[in-house]
Structure 1
Amino acid sequence: MRIGEPAAQAGMTRDTIRFYEKVGLVAGRRPANGYRGFPPETVAWLHHVRTARTLGFPPAEIARHGEKPNDAPDAAEALSALLEEKVQVADARMAELTARVGTGCPLRATGQAGRS
């Protein structure tokens, strides 16, 4: 498939797919005609990438969990594990924020306010 087909089927732009190719999330092939070609399973992978991005996963983190279209987690268990990891990170951030409530500006406490 040329780049326009997976882009249309996945509901994203060609530029987005080019970006994902640049960062290593998808791999296109360039035959003799010079056009990018993508295997059909790329569409399912792009749907996975799009969902993961919507849920807050950066491209590097998505790549860590699967670097090829065939690596996309299709089982609910695999997706649940990824989401649980994201929830743990969010919980840790919330605990840190909660601990700081009422402590005032951390810059003022160290005498750094107003300095540039």
Structure 2
Amino acid sequence: MRIGELAAQTGMTRDTIRFYEKVGLVEGRRLANGYRDFPPETVAWLLYVRTAQTLGFSLAEIARHGEELHEAPDSAEALSSLFEEKIQAIDGRMAELATLRTELVARVGTGCPLRATGRPAITGLSG
């Protein structure tokens, strides 16, 4: 199928599909006239990519695990493993954000929110 039809079926722009092709997420062959031609299963894959992005997966993560998921005998098991890894990463980030929030709350009303409060500074922040 041509890129316009693929765009229409997935709700993505042609530019998005071209970008995904450039970074290796999809592969189309070139016809003699130079048009891109994508296999029909590309629609399902692009919808998968969109869903994975909605769930917080980066394009790099999707690309890294894409082939593995296509070839997994039990994709539910493979997906569950990826979800568990993502949950752990999210939990770690939430803990970092909670620490940052606590530090910011402590600085409210200090006259200069960047001035040190007498407690050790959070790593990566300058006060």
TM-score, normalising length from structure 1? Answer: 0.78
Give the corresponding residue for 1:2: 2
Query: Residue 36 of structure 2: SS of its match in structure 1?
Result: coil
Cα separation, 2, equivalents of 1:7 and 1:37 = 12
Decide which moves more: 91-100 or 28-37.
91-100
Q: Percent identity?
A: 69
Equivalenced residue count is 112
* CA shift for structure 1 position 100: 4.4
* CA shift for structure 1 position 108: 3.9
Answering whether residue 76 of structure 2 is matched by residue 63 of structure 1, we say: no
Query: Residue 66 of structure 1: SS of its match in structure 2?
Result: helix
Decide which moves more: 19-28 or 95-104.
95-104
Give the corresponding residue for 2:52: 52
| Cα-to-partner distance string for 1:45-92 (whole Å, 9 max, x where unaligned) | 111101111111111110000149x82778333322222111110101
Give the corresponding residue for 1:39: 39
Cα separation, 2, equivalents of 1:72 and 1:13 = 28
**Is the Cα–Cα contact under 8 Å of residues 25 and 67 in structure 1 kept in the other structure?**
no
Give me the CA root mean square deviation. 2.8
Give the corresponding residue for 1:95: 95
Between structure 1 and structure 2, the one with the greater Rg is 2
* Paired residues for 1:3-18 under 5 Å: 3-18=3-18
Cα separation, 2, equivalents of 1:11 and 1:42 = 13
Change (3 A) 1:13 1:101: closer
Flag structure 2 segments of 5+ consecutive residues without an equivalent.
Answer: 108-113
Q: Answer 1 or 2: higher relative contact order, Cα 8 Å, separation at least 6.
A: 1
TM-score, normalising length from structure 2? Answer: 0.72
Change (3 A) 1:98 1:85: same
